Amino acid sequence: MSHSQRSTGLTAFVVTVLAVVLVAGSLIIGRTSAGADPQPTTRSAEAGFARDMQVHHDQAVEMSMIVRDLTESPDIRLLAYDIATSQSQQAGQMFGWLATWGLPQASPEPPMTWMHRPIPQGDSHAAHNLPAAVGEVPAVMPGMATRAQLDELRTLSGIAAERMFLELMIAHHEGGVDMADAVLERSDYPVVTDLAGSITKAQQSEIQLMEELLAART
């Protein structure tokens, strides 16, 4: 086994352990907050966000693990590690929410449906089970890289890999911010809005950093 394979395996193990710890913590938090607010329903913005953002985060982790094996840049490797660990933790929290709410992890409707429902006025829970807005719901979550793009990233190395990773991750983060902002407009559930707000803040900061790293590589 090569050094890079051992490094990737160890990193993946650490990420998995952290995610499991966060799941346990999120169960406790969810039970505490549930006493004050009605629990989200399976077609609520909160549940839709939890399911879709887990998928979105999983791809960010995948891209980060890919680039760590393709570059020797300390800045890129540290950024990739930070993204992988933080987004694995957050995905664990969202998995925990759904478990606590007694809702299925699999969505009963197409991805992103929740994001195309009307923004509720007043009581955010009133719009939980409204039908999707008129118009086709996009099949792809905002900012997601295609499988072809990920396959291409795996063929690169050095500066070329770093540039493509940064370009893909900037778009990915912009899509994640859009999703977080959308649930903030549709929810007043404290656990959800707290995490969504932290996602927006952290990813906007990382976008600025990645734009600077990309500029240095053009």
Looking at residue 135, its pLDDT comes to 47
List the structure tokens of 127: 């719009």
Structure tokens at 146: 């295609």
Distance of CA 164 to the CA centre of its chain: 19
User: C-alpha distances in angstroms, 23 versus 17, 20, 88, 97?
Assistant: 10, 5, 10, 8
**Residue 119 has what pLDDT?**
86
For the chain (218 residues), the mean pLDDT of every run of 10, in chain order, is 47 47 48 62 97 98 97 98 98 98 95 89 50 52 96 98 98 98 97 98 98 96
Compute the chain's Rg from CA coordinates.
18
198 and 180 Cβ atoms separated by less than 8 Å: no
pLDDT of residue 177: 98
Dist CA 177 CA 146 (whole Å):
19
All structural domains of the chain, each given as residue ranges with its CATH number in brackets, are: 3-31+41-103+144-215 (1.20.1260.10)
- Residue indicated by tokens 């399976």: 42
C-alpha–C-alpha distance, residues 96 and 60, integer Å: 19
Q: What DSSP letter does each residue of 141-179 carry, written as one string? A: -TTPPPHHHHHHHHT--HHHHHHHHHHHHHHHHHHHHHH
Q: Write the single-letter amino acid at 37.
A: D
**What is the reported pLDDT for 106?**
95
